[in-house]
A and B are shown apart, each in its own frame.
Chain A
C-alpha cells in the first residue's frame, strides 16, 4: 500500500479532447495545445481507464489487466509507468497526489 500523497494519475478536465477512429488507431485532438496525437494500443485504453480522482499506477494496472490481456507484474507496471509519464508530458493526462492509497 502506498502512503497517502504518492503520485497518481487522473484524466484532464472534460472537453479538452476530441477522439476519432482511424482503422486500428485512435486520433486525439488536444484542444488546449492544438496538437493532434495518433495513439496506438494500449495508450487509448490507459486513458479511458483514468478517472477524475488520481489513481496509483499499481491500481490502474490491476484494473487494466482485468479488462485486457495485460501482464499484472513488475514488467507490466514499469511499462505502464512509462506510458503514463509520456501521456503526462504531452498534457493528455495529469499527475496529482493521491488522497488515499
Chain B
C-alpha cells in the first residue's frame, strides 16, 4: 500500500494502509500523542482500498478492508477517509479481539473506579463519556469497554471520540482547544461527524485499568428518571452489547456473570448533558 501508519490504542496495535495519503495524514496528526512505531507487530491490518479499478482517481471511493471484513460494506467517499479508517479499526476490534470481553459501552474513571455506560446508538453514552472526560473524570473510551477475563477490571480503549450531529456543538462549547478537533465530515451515512482527541491524561494512562463500580443504561431525550435493572436483564443486554461474548466461550461467560453480579446497574433517562452529569454525580456519591 502506498501510505501506512502503525498505531497503538489501549492494548491493541493497528497497521493502517491506504492508497491515498489524506486519511493517513489526518490519522497521524490526530493520533500524534499515541504510539506510532512503524516497526511494531500489529494485531490487525486495516486497508483503505479503491472500491473499483479506477476509483483511486475517478470519484475516489474507499472500500474498508483488512484482516476482518464485512462482505457487503458500502464504499465511502474519499473525503470521509478518516471515518473509514476509524470504522476499519472498530471492525477489527469487534470481530477479532479475544483478550478481553468486549462490550459496546463508554467508560470513565474516578479514584480507580470505573463508570460504564451502554446503550443503543443515540442513547448519548459516547457524548456523556466525552463530557465527563472534560469535567474531572478520566475518559477511558466512547465505544468499547474491555473487561479483564481474570480480574474483572475495565481496560481503556481511548480512540478518538466520534461526535455526531448536535454533540459536535455541545463539545465545541466544552473544549477550548480547537486543535483537538478533526475535520468536520458532513453528509456521512450517520450525518455530520467530527472526531475529538481525548484529553492528554486519557492517552497517557491508556493502559491503566479500573475496577467497575457502576453500570448505566442512559437514554437521551426522555424526562428525568432512574430505575434499577434486574440482573437477568443486564446479562441479556450485555450479551447483545458484546461482540465477542460467544467467541470467548466459558471465559466470557464467567467474566460477564461476575460483572453482572458485582456491579450495580441502573437505567437513567435525561434531557440534557448537564442534567445527566448532575444525576451521575449524585448516583456516584451514593455508591458504597
Contact assessment for A31 and B231 in the assembled complex, using a CB-CB cutoff below 8 Å: no
Of A17-25, A65-73, A81-89, the one contacting chain B is A17-25
Which residues on A sit within 8 Å (CB–CB) of B232? 22-25, 38
Instruction: Select one of A18, A27, A34 contacting B235, CB under 8 A.
Output: A27
Q: How far is the CA of A36 from the CA of B238 in the complex (A)?
A: 13
With a cutoff of 8 Å between Cβ atoms, the chain B residues found around residue A36 in the complex are: 239, 253
The answer for the CA separation of A25 and B234 in the assembled complex, in Å, is 12
8 Å CB contacts to B: which residues of A6-38? Answer: 18, 20, 22-25, 27, 29, 31, 34, 36, 38
Residue of A at shortest CB range from B253? A29
**In the bound complex, CA of A23 to CA of B232 (Å):** 7
**Residue ID in chain A nearest B232 by CB atoms:** A25
Residues of B contacting A29 in the complex (Cβ-Cβ under 8 angstroms): 250, 253
The chain B residue with its CB closest to the CB of A22 is: B231
Residues of A within 8 A of B230 (CB): 23-24
Residues of A whose CB lies within 8 Å of any CB of B are 18, 20, 22-25, 27, 29, 31, 34, 36, 38
Given A18-B253, A23-B231, 8 extra CB contacts under 8 A: A18-B250, A20-B253, A20-B257, A22-B261, A24-B230, A24-B232, A27-B235, A38-B236
Interface pairs A-B: 9 shortest CB-CB = A29-B253, A22-B231, A25-B232, A23-B231, A20-B257, A34-B249, A22-B232, A36-B253, A29-B250
